[in-house]
């Protein structure tokens, strides 16, 4: 059907993969966009995420287990791994982070999946 193929062409930018969410982990691929060109090391990024969790979700949030799997210094893209139950808290605290050391910033979530993203 012609209208179906047209829609497929328009949606080529995002890749949608349907999975049964059986595993208890979630992988979050995020990009930190900053107004000025500041790059963060792994440690700084991890500390920044934890401080965001602490401000929104307190000590309980700061104690959440998450892993920083891959990190690129150049483009500030990182892959985080959290357990299924903690995803909402982590994502909400990333959303509400507005400032990094007086620079305006924003976390863009590029991909969420229950298996490690291949990049």
Q: Does the footprint of another protein cover residue 106 (CB under 8 A)? A: no
Contact 92, 48 (CB under 8 A): no
Rule CB under 8 A: choose which of 1, 59, 65, 102 binds another protein.
59
**Rounded distance, CA 53 to CA 37, Å?**
24
Q: Which stretch binds another protein (CB under 8 A): 8-16, 22-30, 56-64, 72-80?
A: 56-64
Strand order in the sheet with 77-83: 66-72, 77-83, 25-34, 103-113, 99-100
Q: Which stretch binds another protein (CB under 8 A): 12-20, 30-38, 57-65, 110-118?
A: 57-65
Nearer to another protein, 53 or 79 (CB): 53
**Rounded distance, CA 71 to CA 37, Å?**
16
Nearer to another protein, 62 or 110 (CB): 62
């Amino acid at each position: 059907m012609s209208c179906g193929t047209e829609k497929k062409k328009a949606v080529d930018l995002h890749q949608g993969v349907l999975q049964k969410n059986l595993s208890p982990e979630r992988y979050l691929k995020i990009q930190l966009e900053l107004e000025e060109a500041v790059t963060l090391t792994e440690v700084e990024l991890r500390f920044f995420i934890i401080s965001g969790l602490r401000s929104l979700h307190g000590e309980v949030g700061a104690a959440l287990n998450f892993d920083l799997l891959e990190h690129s210094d150049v483009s500030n893209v990182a892959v985080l791994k959290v357990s299924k139950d903690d995803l909402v808290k982590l994502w909400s605290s990333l959303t509400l982070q507005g400032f990094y050391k007086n620079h305006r910033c924003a976390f863009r979530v590029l991909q969420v999946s229950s298996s490690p993203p291949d990049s």
